[in-house]
């Protein structure tokens, strides 16, 4: 079951709350899918909000957040790092893969 913000219980498989499109402009992600997706049907929806998404965009070498670690696929293998944290009275800065670009 899902409890919505109004505290009404909605059973799974219940009718949608609305059949109207959301009031937001459609846009395309700046990083388009590549052959790293494998044999994905043309025009089929792709999963969103998954931890491995950056591994299948561009060259597959974008950092991936697998909290508390950062993972990055590189030519010599999979790199895993614990991000460094720098703190001050006005900010917290977390840097990943120090010294790498």
Task: Convert the pLDDT of each residue in 41-99 to its tens digit.
Answer: 877 888 888 888 888 888 888 888 888 888 888 888 888 888 888 899 999 888 776 55
Domain count, the chain: 1
Could you tell me the residue range of the domain that residue 98 belongs to? 51-101
Task: Classify residue 4: in a domain, yes or no.
Answer: no
What pLDDT does 15 receive? 81
Task: Classify residue 36: in a domain, yes or no.
Answer: no
Task: Classify residue 6: in a domain, yes or no.
Answer: no
Rounded to a whole number of angstroms, the distance between the first and last alpha carbons of the chain is 45
Higher pLDDT, 8 or 23: 23
Task: Classify residue 90: in a domain, yes or no.
Answer: yes
Comparing 3-7, 37-41, 60-64, which segment has the lowest mean pLDDT? 3-7
Task: Classify residue 61: in a domain, yes or no.
Answer: yes
Q: Output the pTM of the full model.
A: 0.50
Grade residue 38 by pLDDT with cuts at 50, 70 and 90: confident
Residues 6+ apart with CB under 8 A from 92: 85, 86
**CB neighbourhood size of 28 (10 A):** 6
Task: Classify residue 3: in a domain, yes or no.
Answer: no
What pLDDT does 61 receive? 81
């Amino acid at each position: 079951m899902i409890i919505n913000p109004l505290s009404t219980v909605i059973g799974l498989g219940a009718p949608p709350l609305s059949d109207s499109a959301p009031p937001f402009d459609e846009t395309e992600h700046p990083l388009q899918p590549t052959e790293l997706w494998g044999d994905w049907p043309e025009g089929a929806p792709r999963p969103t909000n998954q931890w491995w998404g950056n591994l299948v965009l561009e060259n597959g070498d974008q950092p991936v957040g697998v909290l508390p670690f950062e993972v990055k696929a590189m030519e010599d293998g999979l790199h895993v790092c614990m991000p460094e944290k720098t703190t001050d009275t006005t900010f917290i800065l977390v840097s990943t893969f120090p010294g790498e670009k």
